[in-house]
């Protein structure tokens, strides 16, 4: 659930929205990006002030123009810095030798972290701003599609495991269709969580739990297939006759 501005003012530095990982060189550009991320997560795109960002970062206002030139380029750079780390994190999750249900649980933990860090709010703000800002939309949409492509890759892997287990879904239910259901559901869930609709949050959690149970069943099928495969392969090898 999103927090209001009064909540933000009472937060400690450790709890405030963060963009950059700890240990990042604290140079001028990083300070500006960090300050812009906090402002976006706290107040939104419409209220974003370059002068306030410069004040928060402790730098001269002219340096924002020097490094980023425009407000839109600044916010896209903020999104890129956060997105880069998050996509790397999700790539590692998909590549890890864990079950599909474990990956799903990890994705849910990631989401809770991203909601708390302010990233979900930042992305939603840029989505909304893109509706009336063609220049921003041109930059924002490819970033969104990159995430959708990553999800599609994970769904394709699950389909391959399902088919290897001897289960094939009817033709209309392709990996592309299921990936679309997941991503569009997830985006809708983000907006509901940011607004704070309690009833929707309960329904969304029930839906997430249901998918997790479905993936647990898929994992069972995949394990059974893996155990039976060597035995079947052995039966296909003809025995050599004695001479």
CATH of residue 110: 1.10.357
Answer whether residue 24 is part of any domain: no
Q: At what angle do helices 28-43 and 50-57 cross, to 10 degrees?
A: 120
- pLDDT at position 97 is 85
Answer whether residue 58 is part of any domain: no
- pLDDT at position 185 is 95
Answer whether residue 128 is part of any domain: yes
Answer whether residue 202 is part of any domain: yes
Rounded distance between C-alpha atoms, residue 221 and residue 216, angstroms: 9
CA triple 209-147-89, angle to 5 deg: 75
C-alpha distance from residue 205 to each of 18, 163, 210 (Å): 26, 28, 9
Answer whether residue 175 is part of any domain: yes
| Cβ pair 73, 42 in contact under 8 A | no
| Cβ pair 167, 221 in contact under 8 A | yes
What's CA 218's distance to the chain center, in Å? 23
Answer whether residue 237 is part of any domain: no
Rounded distance between C-alpha atoms, residue 222 and residue 145, angstroms: 30
- pLDDT at position 81 is 86
Q: What residues make up the domain containing 170?
A: 78-225
Answer whether residue 165 is part of any domain: yes
Per-residue pLDDT of the chain (243 residues; tens, 9 = 90+): 333 333 433 344 444 555 554 444 458 899 999 999 999 999 999 899 999 999 999 999 899 989 998 889 999 999 888 878 777 888 888 888 888 899 999 999 999 999 999 999 999 999 999 999 998 899 889 988 988 998 999 899 889 888 888 888 888 999 999 999 999 999 999 999 999 988 999 999 999 999 999 889 888 887 887 777 655 444 444 443 333
- pLDDT at position 24 is 44
- pLDDT at position 230 is 57
Answer whether residue 148 is part of any domain: yes
For the chain, the domain total comes to 1
């Amino acid at each position: 659930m999103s927090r209001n501005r009064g909540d933000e003012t009472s937060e400690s530095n450790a709890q405030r929205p963060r963009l950059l990982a700890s240990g990042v060189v604290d140079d001028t550009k990083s300070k500006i990006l960090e300050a812009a991320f906090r402002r976006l997560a706290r107040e939104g795109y419409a209220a974003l002030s370059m002068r306030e960002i410069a004040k928060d970062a402790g730098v001269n206002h002219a340096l924002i123009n020097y490094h980023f030139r425009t407000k839109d380029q600044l916010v896209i750079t903020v999104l890129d810095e956060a997105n880069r780390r998050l996509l790397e994190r999700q790539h590692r999750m998909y590549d890890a030798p864990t079950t599909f249900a474990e990956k799903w649980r990890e994705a849910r933990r990631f989401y809770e972290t991203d909601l708390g860090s302010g990233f979900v709010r930042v992305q939603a703000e840029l989505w909304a701003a893109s509706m009336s800002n063609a220049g921003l939309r041109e930059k924002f949409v490819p970033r969104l599609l990159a995430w959708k492509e990553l999800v599609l890759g994970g769904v394709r892997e699950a389909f391959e495991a399902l088919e290897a287990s001897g289960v094939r879904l009817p033709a209309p239910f392709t990996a592309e269709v299921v990936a679309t259901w997941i991503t569009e559901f997830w985006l809708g869930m983000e907006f509901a969580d940011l607004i704070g609709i309690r009833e929707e949050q309960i329904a969304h959690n029930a839906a997430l739990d249901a998918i997790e149970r479905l993936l647990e069943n898929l994992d069972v099928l995949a394990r059974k297939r893996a155990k039976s495969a060597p035995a079947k392969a052995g039966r296909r090898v003809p025995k050599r006759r004695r001479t």
